[in-house]
Amino acid sequence: MKVRAPAAQPLLLGLALLSAAGCARFQPTPTLMAANEADQVQRDLPVPEGFELDRDATLRHERSAYRRLHLVYRRDGYLSQERVSEFVRNVYPKVGWEVRFVYGLEPAHVVLHKGHEECRVAIREDSGDGSTELVLDIEPRQTPDGALVARGFERDGFVSGSVASVETSVRPTSVPAGAARGTANK
């Protein structure tokens, strides 16, 4: 059976359109750039372009010897957690931070250290409104005498913190009943 050329043309055109519909052209994803220094709270805490500080959700406590910051940035428009995490992992070491730990899927987390400070980064996507949130918690890791002091902020049921220092006095378990009041038998 011989197929006529005019009858085969629509069939070939249809097959070509179907095969082309599934093809995609991939382009490299551009690297996120840091926002202008004027848009950042502090030089050593860069944020990607397009993120704006949410002043109502942000807490700042700074002294000459230490700082305790809870910075909340939001960006309208979808930006994947992975791209923001990659920005933090690549840019923060350039301003003195050392990446110590990366974990989590939803939200993604990055823990960084610099001197006696710890920076905990949480990155969340909100597919409902198409926004991305970047939360930075910066606190001292240790006091000058070496005690751990980093405590997290609790906001909306989410605790962002890693270590809590609690000073307690340890009493032996075999103390006579009256010993705690200073009336133990001698």
Domain ranges of the chain: 51-154
- Using CA atoms of 162, 165, 168, 173 in order, give the dihedral in degrees to the nearest 10: 30
Tens place of pLDDT per residue across the chain (186 aa): 555 556 666 666 666 665 555 555 555 566 788 888 877 888 899 999 989 999 999 999 887 777 899 999 999 887 888 889 999 999 999 999 999 999 987 789 999 999 888 999 999 988 778 889 999 999 988 666 666 665 554 444 444 444 433 333 333 344 344 444 444 444
CA distances from 154 to 28, 59, 122 (A): 38, 12, 13
Are 138 and 45 in contact by the 8 Å Cβ rule? The answer is yes
Q: Return d(Cα 87, Cα 46) in angstroms, integer.
A: 9
Read off the pTM. Answer: 0.63
Question: What CATH number does the domain located at 51-154 have?
Answer: 3.30.310
For 101, the 3-state DSSP assignment is strand
Rounded CA separation 153/160 (Å) = 6
Give phi and psi for 3, each to the nearest 5.
-95, 130
